[in-house]
Amino acid sequence: MNPLRIGNLAIPVPIIQGGMGVGISLSGLAAAVANEGGVGVISSAGLGLLYKNLAADFLEASIEGLKEELRKAREKTRGVIGVNVMVAMSNFADMVKTSIAEKADVIFSGAGLPLNLPSFLKKDSITKLVPIVSSGRAANIICEKWKKEYDYLPDAIVVEGPKAGGHLGFKVEQIADENFSLEHLIPEVVATVKIFEDKYNVSIPVIAAGGIYTGQNIFDIMKLGASGVQMGTRFVTTTECDASDAFKNTYIDAKSEDIEIIKSPVGMPGRAIGNSFIEKVKMGYKHPIHCPFKCIKTCEVSSSPYCIITALFNAFKGNLKGGFAFAGSNAYLAEKIISVKETFNNIMREYKESK
């Protein structure tokens, strides 16, 4: 694999660990990935729950929690550390400002178009900005908007296809449609980005995400023009992943048919490992809830049968009766919990065998 460059950041191994919330990818996993030459990513989603001891207010606790996670990551690695900040979060601006102030290397931002992301940069900011998109059209809109409003172009672009875990940027009917597959999207976004690269003499690497699990997957998608990949699911079943062993074991125990598309309270389809909690939701045993955190702008509170952030937090802690595990389409391939180092070694071996 060729190294990846995001602005002036040199990334020896072109693998970005996906930002997985709530609590799945924190400083432990991020630092371990960074130490192997990839980009470790801290998820900013739900940090106010994890760090409620630092402040009574969820939003303030989220800020303090992100500072703490970045500090802990920096103690463990000199590698590249990023933060994932979802546009749909009600504290999007807080998390972006904190990431920049704490000098995170990269912000990855999706779950909506981060049209104003460059507005948060200061003259001395070092943080690189990487939007996550699901189409060439979205990439074009962001590039044009950022250039016109802020004289700034993305330092890279992540293209997330419909095989990803968690919330998906696709309609339900598009998820299995080949016209929306990652293999179709990558050349489309690469072509879109090249127009801006040529016009402004810059480099905007395109990073493939969603369903990337093996070295063979990496080899195949890079042949289509991707300069790097983002992988989340593969890193869940690692020793350093910040989730509970019970959460990790849901991946190891899962069969292909257990991984399903669910309807999320935030108004998007999501991919998760089916369990009793999800079945109870389908059967109507869960009831509309009072919103305790107002964490997601698009959450349909009045009709929601459960609180998404609480369900994900419960799963992170190992309470799968009170929640569920988001997972990519290939989660069932996991066999055992191993170290991040061994995971990287396996991926590199698989990649070499694909040539």
For residue 204, count CB atoms less than 10 angstroms from its CB and return exposed for 0-12, middle for 13-18, buried for 19 or more: buried
DSSP letter at 18? Answer: -
* Cα separation, 137 vs 296, whole angstroms: 25
In a 3-state reduction of DSSP, which class is residue 75? helix
What is the residue whose two structure tokens read 């062993």?
245
All domains in the chain, ordered by first residue = 4-242+335-354 (3.20.20.70), 245-331 (no CATH)
* Cα separation, 269 vs 170, whole angstroms: 7
Q: Are 139 and 158 in contact (CB under 8 A)?
A: no
Q: Are 77 and 40 in contact (CB under 8 A)?
A: yes
Position 177, amino acid: D
Q: Which of 24-33, 179-188, 263-272, 309-318 has the weakest average pLDDT?
A: 263-272
In a 3-state reduction of DSSP, which class is residue 132? strand
Q: Over the Cα atoms of the chain, what is R_g?
A: 19
Mean per-residue pLDDT of the chain: 94
DSSP letter at 89? Answer: B
What phi and psi values does residue 343 have, to the nearest 5 degrees? -60, -45
pLDDT tens digit sequence for 168-189: 989 999 999 999 999 999 999 9
Q: Which residues contact 261 (CB under 8 A, 6 or more apart)?
A: 168, 172, 175, 269, 270, 271
Terminal alpha carbon distance of the chain? 11
pLDDT tens digit sequence for 120-153: 999 999 999 999 999 999 999 999 999 999 999 9
CA angle 140, 218, 177 (to 5 degrees): 55
Q: From start to end of 210-289, where are the E strands? A: 228-231, 259-263, 269-273
DSSP letter at 307? Answer: -
pLDDT tens digit sequence for 65-117: 999 999 999 999 999 999 999 988 889 999 999 999 999 999 999 988 999 99
- Provide the pairing of β-strand 206-209 with 157-160: parallel
| pLDDT recorded at residue 305 | 75
pTM of the model: 0.94
Q: Are 153 and 202 in contact (CB under 8 A)?
A: yes
Using the CB atoms, write b or e for 81-112: b if 16+ within 10 Å.
bbbbbbbbbbbbebbbbbbbbbebbbbbbbbb
pLDDT tens digit sequence for 277-293: 999 988 887 766 666 66
